[in-house]
Structure 1
Amino acid sequence: MYFFRREKVQCRYQFSLRDAVDLTLLQRALTTALASAPYYTQRLVQEKREMWLEPNTEPCLVYHGSTMRNIPEQTNGYLFCVSCEGDTIYFDWHHFLLDGHGVSPLFTSILEQYCNLRYGTAFAVQQIVCDPPYDMDAMLAEHPPVEGGSDAIQRDVVQTYEGTLRRTRVCLSKQSLVEKALANNAKPVSALMGLLCMAMREYLGKEKIQYSYSSDTRDVAGVPNALYNCVCSFEHTVQLQAQTRLADFISDVDADIKRDLQPQSKRRRMTEQMGWVYKVNQQKAPLRIKQRVFQMGEYIGGTISDFWLSYLGNPLMPATPELAQYTTDFGVWVPPDGASVGVEAASLNGKIILCIHNKAPHPGLADILRKTFENEGVTVLEAADLD
């Protein structure tokens, strides 16, 4: 899917550590971790009609600086990149190879090996394996595509903003968000989604808000150890007014999300979205034609929305409390593909960290988010427009 996209989708994790990062030690840590993770040592090969991955024999280097390098052109062909500046390590990756869960085991291992060298810890080197591809043919047989079109073709498409990309960062007390959700008998992610809808109503100046979110599908696809992209997306609409409170509509949001996350629902949605990619890729046509066909038909399974939320959870996999002690901060940045505003949420050290990419031209997003969360009793630790 991410090869066929018009725009390259490069993503970033950034971890801040206790002290300035030693590039030489980080290079040793990368080399050690990568030796036990063969899936990541691949390069993309393209010919007129086909593309494939093969082992990359070039050295995998650590770079200095915070500027995101062009992957794979400036990374020796690797589809990820490790760099550092000051006390921060930057992990960038091309979404073609990985999603957030798929990239976490490698970056966690690199952090562990760096801590062994820098702080004298004793983290073991874990072998990182990848499950084989899931059976797309079986999924299509279970949920065959609708002949003659889809209801999605007739739906109203949200007009999204395409302005200058700006960043906003908001940190919440995880406990206060959980308490708010429990008070409304809802999942914490449902409470977060509802609060974001309220903020976007004010920020975007519209009462009808369409949101989407992604869900990990490794479980329903039968590939729990998949490192490649393994997600589906859902979308919903809420109608809000200035006087609407979270308690007025959170039960509806929660019911939609719980219904979406049923195994058969996730498997069906995954088949709808990835079946289209599968069908395009099977065409006997040049890659450039396949890319064009994909772009024309992506809206069939796409989720164009006012904003989307991707809830990563703990970015450390496995979630080792000992390793978290050496990290002072974290951020995750992903382009707002298919929406005016993209929200990536992570959970680390008792905080919910929202890293937001925004294409709308309106100012003041951080202030609106702070006001919305605080009016509903959720503690805001930080809210800042970064650009």
Structure 2
Amino acid sequence: MNLQKDNTMRKIRSGQAYLYRDGGLRSTVLDVRMKDTVRGDLLRRALETALERYPYLRSKLVEKNGDFYLADNPLSVAFAKTTKLRALGSMSVNYHLIDVTYTGSSIRVAFHHALCDGRGITPFLETLIHYYCSLRYHRVFDSTGIRLAGEPLLPGETEEPFGASRYDVGDTPAAQVIKDGFVLPEHADEVSAYYRHEISIDRARFLAVAKQNNATPAILVALLASTAIKNLHPDADKPIVCSLASDMRAELGLTNTHKNCVSSLYLPYTEELAGLPLTEQATRYREDIATQRQPDAVRRAANSQIGLSDKLDELPTLAAKKQMLSFFDDLRIDTFVISYLGQLQFGECGEHVDSVHLYSSGSTGLILNMISAAEVISIDVLQSFESEQFVSELLRLVTELGLDVTASERIAFATTPDKAHITAARQAEKYYAAFTG
């Protein structure tokens, strides 16, 4: 059974802020490293089957009067054997907002944040790997937790989290949070290139150490990263602040939506916190997270995003909207950012997966992306400066915890700006149903 997609175009609200970047938004890439060489013919078949389960991923952007809409895209999703990260929304990818490529043992899925966030695209990746491994290894793998072709969409899977209606907020006082963090001196450098280091740690051992210290994986890495920065800059004039990406789905009652549904939590590393044992530091961070993730706090954050979209919708032209959001073009979050996608559900197919990595260029500053997949926790350290001091100190601290760690050399890289901001205005309206809000 092929799932049919509603061909009515709907205005983008979640992810709207990503659509007005000067020069386009750079793609985000999920890079799956398989243990064996990838068979392109089988991956193509797996892709075609997986997409039957996710009809909303067959989309392109349409722009009208400065507003962007998602529309059904009848063209095939782009697929190629190439190391090149192609521009999403361009002719080279049939105007789609995802692109699947492969070389060697890597399978890469590039996606646009106007379509979904990391949590929104990972179920598709899990389905893709399931079908690929089934073909590649001639096995019927257990599909528990995997969404399969022919199954219906989950309740709310395409629901808009930041629509016109605001969320009801109670009288829980807003948390007093330190957001003004220490600025890394490297941020003064002119940005001429982007770099990443790929760090891999045994998952079972990492989780055991985290549990021993009352930490989640993200909390443990946040504390190690903050300690590394403090060690390098003992005279820091402000607290080291970790901006932790936080999934809002559960608190908003939209656990299944694929659309962007993320806010930020702030974890300050103060002089007082630095003097505590690791377990007490982790406990303090747990308390900070619990306070900031109270339902009222999350709903307030969601209402702020709705308010931003409302103001944007009041502006009459594309130029005016771009001007309003121009501050995003050079946005830097101090001191650093962590994004943790959690554990990918590969099931039995995980035995054929070495690791998964998440990266995107174009952001100024320091970002740590984390993914747990198969037997490995991957930490991709992304930075807009050349210095390797932070990575070296972070690795030293990880080793001090008794963890075996492997790390790549510094990798210069760039993901590609989209062309959707150009091609969206050229789509023929006559091929689509009426625009809706």
**TM-score, length-scaled by structure 1:** 0.85
For 2:246, the aligned partner's letter is S
CA contact (8 A) 1:235 1:303 kept: no
Structure 2 counterpart of 1:366, which letter? V
- 1:100 to partner: Cα distance: 0.8
Q: CA deviation at 1:142?
A: 3.4
1:75 matched to 2:93? The reply is: yes
CA distance, structure 2, for counterparts of residue 240 and residue 378 of structure 1: 25
* 1:253/1:50 CA distance change after superposition, 3 Å: same
- Give distance in 2, aligned partners of 1:256 and 1:303: 23
Deviation at 1:268, TM superposition (A): 2.0
CA distance in structure 2 between the aligned counterparts of 1:324 and 1:155, rounded to whole angstroms: 38
Deviation at 1:131, TM superposition (A): 3.2
Q: Does 1:275 align with 2:300?
A: no
Contact 1:168 1:365 in 2 (8 A): no
- 2:72 matched residue in structure 1: 55
**Cα–Cα, structure 1 residues 58 and 13, in superposed 2: closer, same or farther, change >3 Å?**
same
What's 1:331 paired with? 357
Query: How far 1:143 sits from its partner (Å)?
Result: 7.7
CA distance in 1, matches of 2:362, 2:327: 19
Displacement after TM superposition at 1:365 (Å): 3.4
Say if 1:37 and 1:127, in contact at 8 Å, map to a contact too: no
Structure 2: any 5+ residue segments left out of the alignment? 1-16, 412-437
**1:182–1:326: structure 2 CA closer, same or farther, 3 Å change rule?**
closer
Tell me the equivalent position of 1:233. 264
Separation of aligned partners in 2, 1:270 and 1:15: 32
The answer for the alignment partner of 1:142 in structure 2 is: 169
Give, in whole Å, the separation in 1 of the partners of 2:131 and 2:302: 35
* TM-score normalized with structure 2 length: 0.76
Distance 1:383 1:90, change over 3 A: same
For 1:254-269, list aligned pairs within 5 A. 254-269=286-301
Structure 2 letter corresponding to 1:265: A
* Residue type of the alignment partner of 1:224: T
**Which residue of 2 is the match for residue 4 of structure 1?**
20
**Cα RMSD, aligned residues only:** 3.0
* Pair 1:261–1:155, CA change in 2 (3 A): closer
Which shows bigger deviation, 14-23 or 36-45? 14-23
**Counterparts of residues 195-274 of structure 1 (less than 5 Å):** 195-203=224-232, 207=236, 208-240=239-271, 244=275, 246-247=278-279, 249-272=281-304, 274=305
Q: CA deviation at 1:257?
A: 1.7
Tell whether the 8 Å contact from 1:366 to 1:385 is kept in structure 2 after alignment: no
Correspondence 1:314 to 2:343 = yes
What is the Cα deviation at residue 361 of structure 1?
3.6
State which of 394, 401, 404 in structure 2 corresponds to 1:380.
Answer: 404
Q: Is the 8 A contact 2:355 2:376 kept in 1?
A: no
- Partner Cα separation in structure 1 for residue 360 and residue 170 of structure 2: 30
1:197-224, CA deviations, whole angstroms, 9 ceiling, x for partnerless residues? 1122245676331210111111122222
**Where does residue 381 of structure 2 map in the other structure?**
356
The Cα offsets for residues 314-353 of structure 1, whole Å up to 9 and x where unpaired, read as: 23xxx2421212212221113474x511111011223211
Deviates more, 1:78-87 or 1:110-119: 110-119
The residue type paired with residue 182 of structure 1 is K
Residues 350, 374 of structure 2: 8 Å contact kept? yes
Q: Displacement of 1:156 after TM fit?
A: 4.9
Whichever residue aligns with residue 360 of structure 1, its letter is: F
